Structure 1
Amino acid sequence: MKLLQGLAVTLMVALAPVVYASEAATMGRGLGEGYVNTDNGARIHYLQAGQDSAAPALVLIPGWTLTASLWREQLQRFSDHRRVIAVDSRSQGASSIMLTGNTPERRAQDLHELLASLHVDRCVLVGWSQGAQDVAAYVQQFGTASLAGIVFVDSPVSAGNNELDLRKAFSKAILTALSRYAADPADYSAGMVRSIFLHPPADIDAVIKQAQRTPPAVGAAMLVSDIFGADRRPALQKIDRPALVIASASSPLLDAQRQMAESIRGAVFITLPNTRHALFVDEPKAFDGALALLLRAADSTRM
């Protein structure tokens, strides 16, 4: 934990499934992809880099309607000494579109099956935005026995229908967004994707196209389930591993994320300036520096 506390100061000062695998380098040197079939018929796509080692694997989970490809820099940066896996959640990216199970709770089961299929018995989970809900749902269902560390990226864990009282302005914004999404899903998706970057990636049009692949009815159901479907705060009390909450300094939910970090035993809270919601794309050096020290703490944690 001293490593993470030092990091916080430094940054504040400075700023029965089946696996189908392909080892072709699809996005760059050493990156491959594959699929896992879940027990309820979803085909989950993932990207991976690196090799199995004594270090826990790093598992990266994207946000709402977005894809594993946004983690490309982290896939390459951290794969020298560990296995790194980025997941396309069901109904997102290259994973199958599903009419059921589009909830954090079912996505946590998908993740559990994927990790079992890939023989990952110890990992650090990193959940960004919607992915933060998936991480909380995973901890709630499966505990922390297989986890070496946990990272929540720019999102507090949902309080379920309590959100309507706790964060009235935020809840109103979500409900307003749902009506705009239903009225013109293509335009809404394009605007949403562009809004989350301060420094958009070169392939921003491809990212938008991927986000638009999620059917609007499915996307709306996902968003409602993410924000209002369950109170996932009890999962935070189960976290007994190195934990990091890393947020954009411009986040409208900054205070909620700070409070969440305070409720996790030993967690470190860090903010990154000059970023929007996709802070690991906007400021990859600062983000990777924070993640690297979390991984050092996780590597030293024994089961």
Structure 2
Amino acid sequence: MSPLAFETPPRKRRFRSSDNRNLIALDNEVETHRTFILVHGLFQNSEVWCNQFNGQLGISARLIAPDLRGHGASAKPDSIHAYEDGRLWADDLHNLITATGAQNPVLVGWSFGARVIMDYLRHYGDASVAGLVFLGGYLLEDPANLGAELLNSFPKMLDENVELRGEGDAAFVNAMFAEPPKPPLLDALKSVCGNIPYIVRRNMVGRILDYEDVMAGLRKPVLLLHGEEDALMLPSMSQNVSTIIPHAELKLISGCGHALFIEDAERFDQHLQSFVAGLETGY
């Protein structure tokens, strides 16, 4: 069985984007007042959250995990215009919340997924969400917060040569973890990366973004989680974000790298459960 397999297959929901694309999300449809929308990182997909769906969190909370545009089973338009407008990313998340009827969800963004949530917050605000969780969130453009492993692997991941892209994908996936992943997991995550077409990769990464004004205006509770051994997004990323969002709670997770929700799923899930237990709005 694949290390990214679901013990109980979640419902696959289809919804439309504001530019008329077909998008996909997984939904465990648990009937509860606690809902997490789990937004994956760059060149990944919703399957990376399988440990959360399979574990205690998936029993006690409703989990919704989209495949972002250009990723997974969602539409992969080859036009740069489908990726350069932050309003489109914001609308995708808004339309997902509307289509699923999610009430006061907690938005959870991993790496690039944190940017998608910031696009949503810029255009829709935080009034309709209960809280925000960013793990290894790529929220600041300062390259001083980027690890050498990312800077070394990323050019290959964007190369036109498929073999070089494969090498870059492998280096990128390896660098997600504090300890090298076992071959089945490495191969599964490399395969997820490999399903992102070259033209989509090139068109997706061109935006230079500044979210500091959005972060400074947040009013809902914010939790920042970051692996102490993250070699892709250095812990300084979240540490610096915590100075922009003064009420944010910052937790550095020992023994984990960039994929802390895979490396130590139980501990990650406990942090999410503790976070929602402390929320007042909507719970």
TM over 0.5: yes
Out of 239, 259, 274, the residue aligned to residue 278 of structure 1 is 259
The two structures have a TM-score, normalised by structure 2, of 0.85
| Structure 1 segments of 4+ aligned residues over 4 angstroms from their partners | 171-178
Out of 101, 107, 112, the residue aligned to residue 125 of structure 1 is 107
Query: 1:212 Cα deviation (Å)?
Result: 0.9
Identical aligned residues as a percent: 22
1:249-301 deviation digits (Å, cap 9, x = unpaired): 01352123112123214211001111121011011122111111111123x22
User: In the alignment, what sits opposite 1:239?
Assistant: 218
User: In the alignment, what sits opposite 2:268?
Assistant: 287
Out of 86, 100, 110, the residue aligned to residue 92 of structure 2 is 110
C-alpha contact (below 8 Å) 1:36/1:45 kept by paired residues: yes
1:207-250 deviation digits (Å, cap 9, x = unpaired): 2112111112321332332xxx2211111122211110000101
What is the CA–CA distance in structure 2 between the aligned matches of 1:171 and 1:31, rounded to whole Å? 35
- Supply the RMSD in Å over aligned alpha carbons: 2.5
C-alpha contact (below 8 Å) 1:104/1:133 kept by paired residues: no
C-alpha contact (below 8 Å) 1:73/1:284 kept by paired residues: yes
Q: Which runs of 5+ in 1 are unaligned?
A: 1-25
Query: 1:137 Cα deviation (Å)?
Result: 1.3
User: In the alignment, what sits opposite 1:69?
Assistant: 47
User: In the alignment, what sits opposite 1:180?
Assistant: 156
What is the CA–CA distance in structure 2 between the aligned matches of 1:130 and 1:88, rounded to whole Å? 13
What is the CA–CA distance in structure 2 between the aligned matches of 1:144 and 1:171, rounded to whole Å? 30
Query: 1:180 Cα deviation (Å)?
Result: 2.3
1:164-183 deviation digits (Å, cap 9, x = unpaired): xxx35849976664532315
1:70-122 deviation digits (Å, cap 9, x = unpaired): 11121233233332101111111111212242258222211111111111232
User: In the alignment, what sits opposite 2:130?
Assistant: 148
Could you tell me which amino acid in structure 2 is paired with residue 189 of structure 1? D
Query: 1:30 Cα deviation (Å)?
Result: 6.0
The yes-or-no answer on 1:210 pairing with 2:192 is yes
Q: Secondary structure at the match of 1:147?
A: coil
Query: 1:142 Cα deviation (Å)?
Result: 0.6
The two structures have a TM-score, normalised by structure 1, of 0.80
Out of 46, 58, 62, the residue aligned to residue 36 of structure 2 is 58
What is the CA–CA distance in structure 1 between the aligned matches of 2:84 and 2:51, rounded to whole Å? 27
User: In the alignment, what sits opposite 1:92?
Assistant: 71
Query: 1:302 Cα deviation (Å)?
Result: 4.1
What is the CA–CA distance in structure 1 between the aligned matches of 2:263 and 2:154, rounded to whole Å? 26
Check 1:127–1:103 CA distance in 2 against 1; reply closer, same or farther (3 A cut): farther
Could you tell me which amino acid in structure 2 is paired with residue 130 of structure 1? F
Q: Which runs of 5+ in 2 are unaligned?
A: none
The yes-or-no answer on 1:251 pairing with 2:230 is yes
The yes-or-no answer on 1:301 pairing with 2:281 is yes
The aligned length equals: 267
Check 1:174–1:224 CA distance in 2 against 1; reply closer, same or farther (3 A cut): farther
What is the CA–CA distance in structure 2 between the aligned matches of 1:172 and 1:70, rounded to whole Å? 24
1:137-164 deviation digits (Å, cap 9, x = unpaired): 11111101111010010124134xxx3x
Superposed counterparts of 1:11-90, under 5 Å? 27-29=6-8, 31-55=10-34, 57-76=35-54, 77-90=56-69
C-alpha contact (below 8 Å) 2:91/2:120 kept by paired residues: yes
Check 1:180–1:139 CA distance in 2 against 1; reply closer, same or farther (3 A cut): same
Bigger shift: residues 118-127 or 176-185 = 176-185
Could you tell me which amino acid in structure 2 is paired with residue 287 of structure 1? F
C-alpha contact (below 8 Å) 1:247/1:270 kept by paired residues: yes
Could you tell me which amino acid in structure 2 is paired with residue 69 of structure 1? E
